[in-house]
Structure 1
Amino acid sequence: MEQQATGMLDRVVALLDLILEQGQVLLTGLLRPWNSYQLAITLALFLLAHLLARIFTPRLQAWMRSREDWPMWRLRVLVLVRRRLRGIIFVALIWSVVIVMREVTWPSRSYLLVLLANLALAWLIIVFTTRLITNAILRRAVRWGALTWVTLSALDLTGTAARLLDHMDVEMGEVRISVLMLLQMLTVLTVFFLIAKFMSRWLSARIAASENLSPSMRVLSVKLLQTALFIAAFVIGLRAIGVDLTALAFLSGAIGLGIGFGLQKVVSNLVSGVIILMDKSIKPGDVISIGETFGWINQLGARYASISTRDGREYLIPNEDLITGQVVNWSHSDEFVRLDINFGTSYDDDPHLVRRIAVEASLTDDRVLQSRPPVCHIVGFGDSSVDYVLRFWIKDPTGGLTNIRGKVFLALWDSFKANGVSIPFPQREVRVLNPRGVQD
């Protein structure tokens, strides 16, 4: 092991010496008179671009505020332009100078300017294109990796850098792993994963727009498609850089052991999610009650279901609980829901009149269905009142149940007051049997 480390260190030192020699040659070339002039011109153009950006940025920002009616994507492009205004101005200035110098002088006297102009343009293009990557960490890594590669390519140092990274290796038996191999693997896997992510989003949008599939089958198809694409991206990426996949076979035993000891709940939730999607017992948009939680399903994930309630909370219910627990699905077969309201009136009130008033009062709310007329029945004779139940139907449980009950109760109160129907309450009469025995 020490011999391998010593050999690798010697190779790295030798390559560093070569890089230093090339750096000295490059520095010597830069110190030539015309190259020094080109560097001075570049610095002057950069300072001019910085000054112009300081002048035009407030004006551009004020103009952007007056374009609030523009689409969001245009405003985002303008924000990016405002942030990179100095670079845009610098690229425009340096290329203008390059074009002029090519016309009035020899190409060799503008070689360095052309090199710097190409680098500046490449960096600007990379900065703009990497904004398409939503993940900040991945975007930063791709941006700096691309900038490094472009710079090395422009300076003709890619071969030297590749040899340096390839000599920084570790050998474990017959397996040799170098820094160059790791970077290649990371780059290739990143590219394939980005392609898989793009295809997954595109195909998911097509599946979601299909009216021939039920909501549950859409979610299941999207999950299976995403899993297949990312697995394929991983396998193809490893094969593209020459990794022998048979060497990964021993991981199956470790994965099985991990599932057996620590991932039972995770696997149970995954399997439960697939069962839910296949049997269509619960689907996005359904209104359900589980325990004390009442709400509608926003999303069915691989591990949990997202349920939104009327008070703005979002509950993440594990899929296993939806399989093993008792779930009330208010919209499983249809959207119609029947609600019951219990109330009582005085024995002096006509029950026929009370029933008619209750039905008419419930119909004053637009959510109560007239196609399924409300009914009111006597359910018992209580100690203080005649007890009734009012039953009515709605077809939008996502609009809430408590609020519609409250509105119907309020309509009953108003109708009873208007028609002289009284709502009794328990009364107790206290008699003193021995008033003389009461002492002050």
Structure 2
Amino acid sequence: MPLSNVLSDLIEDFDKPSFLYQAGAIVVCIVLGWGLGYAIRRAWLRGRSASGVVQMGVESFSFVLSPLAVVGFLALAKLLFASQRYNVHLLRLALPLFASLAVIRLAFYLMRRVFVRHGPVGAAMLTFEKIFAMLVWLAVALYIAGLWPDVFEFLDDTKLPLGKNKVSLAVVMQAVASVAVLLMVALWAGTALEERLMGVHGIHTSLRVVMARMSRAILIVVAVLLSLSLVGIDLTVLSVFGGALGVGLGLGLQKIASNYVSGFVILLERSLAIGDMITVDRFSGKVTQINTRYTVLQALDGTESVLPNEMLISGPVQSMSLSSRQVRLATQVTVAFDTDLDALMPLIEAECATVQRVLADPPPAAMFLRFGADGFELEVGIWINDPENGRGGVISEANLKIWHLLQRQGVSLPYPTRDLRIADPRLHAFLNTLAPE
């Protein structure tokens, strides 16, 4: 349908009642489509208590649903007008325009759900969206102008050398488009499945993570294989790639492969979970992410350490929350030799029990360690069940409580004293001459 034919058909229908009928049908379809999208969004959010992520997803997809509904209503109106022997030139022009709008919004929705799940949209994403929208509108313009068959014929006749064979540019573009579309759908499905799995509280955190990672990997592989088979590429050619990958793993990718395998081992055996407090080598902190290649530890001062998963498998890991989250903390104090320990130690235990984060079971316990050089050395042990919130604050508050108690009870804290004696009388006499009068 060349552009001249489109314009002539519209001009011919302009003074006929069918043109007004078509224009009215287009307005009605737009109102019904946008109203249906708004009604579905309101009904979904009113009918269930959706979380912030689900609510954002529903509101985003409603902007895709509206142009899709408009396209559906336009197609139905075109069938009705054609059955009544009315001209449908205006409807035939409106269909690709709204279909392109639906495609653009659907692509924006999928890309933002996959790449911009949290936070504002970046400048690079906005630029890519503008380029994609421009290409879609260009394709629609070529279709309306009737130039699309000529463009496709040109692409099909243009051959590109690929090894010993030649492949047309049209096949290459179809392959790229099919891979991109199916891969985007697979990533979107993986993201939706991951959010669904992470919201299931009846499954262990590590098992949820490994299920999400494996499902996304399977979806990506299936999407790539399906897209290649759709364009007629023989999948047996991938055996060469598989052999090259095996050689690469054997030569230079051993560490990367080891980290990926270690990540799945960690997730499957549940030795670590998100939120655990661990110490690996000289790194300590809370586990915030467990990826297939690395694990992220966030220290109490806010710094984050990215550790290869192989490091967590091959080396010792000190965990404060593997089987129990209770951690014992200890502080020491030295009191004078004339202190009544039988009366002081229960008071110290009762005072430490008033600290906010200290557990009542097991209770604080004061122990007499040894006879020190300057006094009795005592140790006070306390227990907490939230090591991810740090230990220094609890120790500091417990020390202040003990200090105030000792002051109230009149208990003195000894300090070391030293008596210096000079054995040589001549040196003693010389130092006396230096002393001031």
TM-score (norm 2): 0.72
The corresponding residue for 1:310 is 300
Counting matched residue pairs gives 359
Give the whole-Å Cα distance in 2 for the aligned partners of 1:334 and 1:173: 61
1:139-158 superposed matches below 5 A: 139-140=129-130, 142-158=132-148
For the 8 Å contact 2:359–2:382, the answer to whether it is kept is: yes
Q: What is the DSSP-based 3-state SS (H/G/I as helix, E as strand, rest coil) of the residue aligned with 2:108?
A: helix
For residues 93-142 of structure 1, what are the alpha-carbon distances to aligned partners after superposition, in whole Å with 9 as ceiling and x for unaligned?
A: xxxxxxxxxxxxxx99x98x989877765665555444312242764554
The verdict on how the C-alpha distance between 1:173 and 1:326 changes in structure 2, with shifts beyond 3 A counting, is closer
Contact 1:126 1:147 in 2 (8 A): no
Comparing 134-143 with 292-301, greater Cα deviation is found at: 134-143
2:419 alignment counterpart: 429
Give the CA deviation at 1:178: 2.3
**Contact kept? 1:130, 1:143, Cα under 8 Å:** no
> Is 2:174 aligned against 1:221?
no
Aligned equivalents of 2:210, 2:92: Cα separation in 1? 52
In the alignment, is residue 349 of structure 1 matched against residue 339 of structure 2? yes
- After superposition, the Cα gap between the structure-2 partners of 1:219 and 1:125, relative to the gap in structure 1 and judged at 3 Å, is closer
1:424: Cα distance to partner? 2.0
Residue in structure 1 matched with residue 154 of structure 2 by the alignment: 164
Alpha-carbon distance change, 368 to 385 in structure 1, aligned in 2, over 3 angstroms: same
Report deviation, 1:143. 2.7
Match of 1:383?
A: 373
SS at match of 2:378: strand
Counterpart of 1:276 (choices 260, 263, 266) is 266
Once the 2 structures are TM-superposed, how far is the Cα of residue 176 of structure 1 from its aligned partner?
2.4
Q: Deviations over 1:310-367 (max 9, x none)?
A: 1111211110111122211100001111112122111121122331222122111121
In the alignment, the residues of structure 2 paired with residue 172 and residue 308 of structure 1 have an alpha-carbon distance, to the nearest angstrom, of: 49
| CA deviation map 1:187-231 (0-9, x unaligned) | 111111122122212222332233442222111111111111111
Q: 1:411 aligns with which of 385, 401, 408?
A: 401
In structure 2, the CA distance between the partners of 1:196 and 1:122, relative to structure 1 (3 Å rule), is closer
The verdict on how the C-alpha distance between 1:231 and 1:127 changes in structure 2, with shifts beyond 3 A counting, is: closer
Which whole-Å CA distance do the structure 1 matches of 2:198 and 2:297 have between them? 20
8 Å Cα contact 1:269-1:320 kept in structure 2: yes
* Deviates further, 349-358 or 316-325: 349-358
Contact 1:184–1:241, Cα closer than 8 Å, also in 2? yes
Check if 1:131 corresponds to 2:114: no
Q: How does 1:2-21 map to 2 (within 5 A)?
A: none
Counterpart in the other structure of 2:229: 239
The alignment status of 1:287 with 2:277, answered yes or no, reads: yes
- The separation in 1 between residues aligned to 2:401 and 2:357, in whole angstroms, is 13
% identity of equivalent residues: 27
One-letter identity of the residue aligned with 2:355? D
Residue aligned with 1:250, SS: helix
Q: In the aligned structure 2, how far is the partner of 1:186 from the partner of 1:138?
A: 16
Determine the C-alpha separation between the residues in 2 that align with 1:334 and 1:139: 49
Go from structure 1 to structure 2 and tell me whether the alpha carbon gap of 1:172 and 1:238 turns closer, same or farther (over 3 Å shift): closer
Residues 366 and 173 of structure 1, relative CA distance in 2, 3 Å threshold: closer
Structure 2: runs of 5+ lacking an equivalent: 13-51, 64-85, 116-124
Distance 1:126 1:182 in 2: 21
Which residue number corresponds to residue 42 of structure 1? Answer: none
SS at match of 1:384: coil
Gaps of 5+ in 1: 1-21, 36-70, 81-106
> Which residue identity lines up with residue 278 of structure 1 in the other structure?
L
Mapped to 2, the partners of 1:173 and 1:377 lie a distance apart of 80
- The residue number in structure 2 matching 1:331 is 321
Name the counterpart of 2:171: 181
CA contact (8 A) 2:328 2:384 kept: yes
Match of 1:392 in 2: 382
CA drift of 1:184 comes to 0.7
1:19-64 residue CA offsets vs partner (Å, 9 max, x unmatched):
xxx9xx9689989xx89xxxxxxxxxxxxxxxxxxxxxxxxxxxxx
SS in structure 2 at match of 1:347: coil
